[in-house]
Structure 1
Amino acid sequence: MKREKLTGLAAFALAAAICASMMQSALAESPRLRGVVELFTSQGCRSCPPADEILGELAAKGDVVALAYHVDYWDYLGWKDTLGSPDNTKRQRDYGRTFGIRSVYTPQAVINGQVHVNGAKRNAVTGALDALAKSGKGMSVELKAEQVGESIVIETGAGPTYSKAHLVLVFFEDAKPVQIERGENTGSTVMYWNAVTGVQTAGMWKGKPARFELPMSAITDKGGCAALLQSVSKDGLPGPILGATILRSPETAWNK
C-alpha cells in the first residue's frame, strides 16, 4: 500500500482546522454524530499512514468522534511508536475477543464498537458508519456536557436497557507531526490526530436519563477528552457504543 507523506504546511493547516472544529462542538449539546471510529494504528506499520490520514479527515468534519489508539506490538520492527501503549493494545485485543477473531491487525478501524474494517479503506469506514445508521444500530442515546462551576456535567437521554453500560472517558492528544527515523516508515513525517493517552471508566448507566458530575481537574491539562457511553459484556469486554460527545479542557475550549 502506497505511503502518504504530508508537507509541513499542509499538515499543520489541517491540524488547525481539526482543532477549530473540535472547539466549536465542545460545549453543551453535541452535534448529531454519525458515530465513533476507533483506529488501531502504529508508526511502525507501512500500511497505516493512509488510515491515519483518513482519521484526520473524519475528525476535521466534526460529525465523528475519531480516536487513534497506537499499539506497541510492531515496535520490534525497528521503530518504537512514540504514542504507543500496552493499554491501547489491550483495548484492541478486548475488541478482538468481542468480535471472535483470532488475531488483531493494523490499521483496524472499529465502528461504534460493533464492526471492524480496514482503516485504510475510506469507503469501508464511511460505509460501515452509514450502514449502522440505516439499520438502526447507530448511536441512539444523546449526550450533552456543560461546565457548572468547577465541575463538568454530562447528561444522557434514555435508551435501551443494558445489563451493564459504562460512561468511558478517552483522553487524547491534539494533532502532532512525528518524524519516523527507523522501521517500515523510515523518512516519513506523519501527522497523527487524536492519539489516545488513557481510558477511564467514570460511571455506570442503566438505560434511563442520568447525570454524571466530574471535577474539572478530570480533563485539565489532558488535551482532549471523548465521553463514550459503551455497553459492556458480563466478561467486561467492550460492546456497542450508544452515545458520545467531545470534551475539551478549560484552557482550550470551555467558555469559548
Structure 2
Amino acid sequence: MKNIKLYSLLCLVTILLTASAFKNGGHAEYKENKKQTGFAVIELFTSEGCSSCPAADAVLAKIQQEKKDQQVYILAYHVDYWNRLGWKDAFSKHAYSERQYKYTGWIKGASVYTPQVVVNGKTEFVGSQEGTLRNAITASLKEQHNTRLLLNGLKVDKSGVTVNYEAENAGIKDVLLFALVQKNARTVVKSGENEGRTLPHVQIVRELQQVTADKASGSITLPLPTGFNTGGYEVIGLVQNSANGGIEAASKVAFATNGTMAVIKR
C-alpha cells in the first residue's frame, strides 16, 4: 500500500512539473531554439531565355510567400550562357554562371543546366520539382549547425548598400557571401524561347560579393543596381565551406521602412 501511495505521489509531482513548464513557456522555448538551429538556403540557377525556367520561378514564388517567417533563404541567379540563344537576360551575370559551375565540383554527379536548384550547397535537382524541394526544406530545417551569422547596421547611400556582419565559429576554409536581392520583378520577353511572355521573378540576386572568414566581424558595401529602392530589396549573407560547398550559416536583413520607399539613382 505504501508503494502504491508513493507511486501516486511521484506521478502527481511529474504532472505538476510538466504543467509548470508549459505555463512558463518551457515547451515554447524548446521549439523556438530548435527552429533557430536549422535553415534552408535555396539557390536557383535560371534564365529568361529558358522555356523550362518559368515553372521553377513559380515554385519559388510560392515558397517565398509560405516560408517568409521561417529561416528559408531564396536566391535566384540568372546565368548568362543562354544570352547567345535569342534573348539577353538583363539580370544575368557571368559570375552567377561561374558559381553554378563550382557546384559541379562540390556535388557528386552534378551538371550544369537550367532550372537547377541547390539546397544548402549539398544537394541539387530540377528547380520545378516542388515536392522534392519541399522535402529538402523540411530536412534542412531539422539540421543542427554551430556556425552563426549576424547581419545588422544596414544603411544605404550613393556609394552603395553597407551591412555589418559578425560570424561565429567560422572555419578556416569558410568564406562569407553577401547578396543584394531584389524581391520581385516582371519582364516582357521579346525574343527567344519565351518570346511574347511576361515573366515574374522573385529573389533575384543583383549583386554578389565574397570575403574570407579570417575576420569574425566587419562590414561590406554592395553597389546599387539601377532603380534601386529600399522597399524592394534585402541583403542575404551566407557562410560557405570553400572545400565542399556546404552552407554552414545564413542570415538576412531588410530595410526598415515607414510606408515610403527611398529611390536612389546612380
Structure-1-length-normalised TM-score: 0.71
User: Given residue 230 of structure 1, which amino acid in structure 2 is its aligned partner?
Assistant: Q
Match of 1:247 in 2: 253
Out of 172, 175, 190, the residue aligned to residue 166 of structure 1 is 175
What CA distance in whole angstroms lies between the structure 1 residues aligned with 2:58 and 2:255? Answer: 25
Coordinate RMSD, CA, aligned: 2.8
Map of 1:79 onto structure 2: 87
Give the C-alpha shift of residue 91 in structure 1.
0.4
1:154 aligned onto 2:165 = yes
In the other structure, the counterpart of 1:176 is 185
Distance 1:94 1:252 in 2: 40
Higher relative contact order (CA 8 A, sep 6+): 1
Q: What is the aligned partner in structure 1 of residue 219 from structure 2?
A: 214
Runs of 4+ in 1 over 6 A off after TM superposition: 148-151, 250-253
**1:56 maps to 2:61:** yes
Is the contact made by 1:221 and 1:249 (CA closer than 8 Å) also made in structure 2? no
CA deviations 1:60-99 (Å, max 9, x no partner) are 3222110000011122331111211111100000111212
State the secondary structure of the residue aligned to 1:193.
Answer: strand
Deviation by residue 1:97-142 (Cα, 9 ceiling, x = unmatched): 21244630111000001110111011111112223444x3x65433
Q: Which runs of 5+ in 2 are unaligned?
A: 1-34, 157-161, 226-232, 260-266
Instruction: Give the number of aligned pairs.
Output: 209
Q: Aligned pair 1:224/2:230, yes or no?
A: no
Summarize deviations over 1:232-256 as a string: whole Å, max 9, x none.
11xxxx6111111112357799xxx
| Change beyond 3 A, Cα 1:186–1:148 | closer
- Contact between 1:139 and 1:241, CA under 8 Å: does it hold in 2? no
Answer whether contact 1:40 1:70 (CA < 8 A) is retained. yes
1:199 corresponds to 2:204: no
* Distance (whole Å) between structure 2 residues aligned to residue 79 and residue 149 of structure 1: 35
- TM-score (norm. length: structure 2): 0.69
SS in structure 1 at match of 2:193: helix
Q: Percent same amino acid among aligned pairs?
A: 29
Cα deviation, 1:23-80, whole Å, max 9, x if unaligned, reads: xxxxxxxx84631000000111111111111112222322211000001112233111
Which residue pairs with 2:39 in the alignment? 34
Q: Give yes or no for contact 1:168–1:228 (8 Å, CA) kept in 2.
A: yes
Select between 31-40 and 166-175 the one with higher mean Cα deviation.
31-40
Residue type of the alignment partner of 2:135: G
- Distance in 2, matches of 1:59 and 1:180, equals 23
Paired residue for 2:74, among 42, 52, 66? 66
Q: Which amino acid aligns with 2:56?
A: A
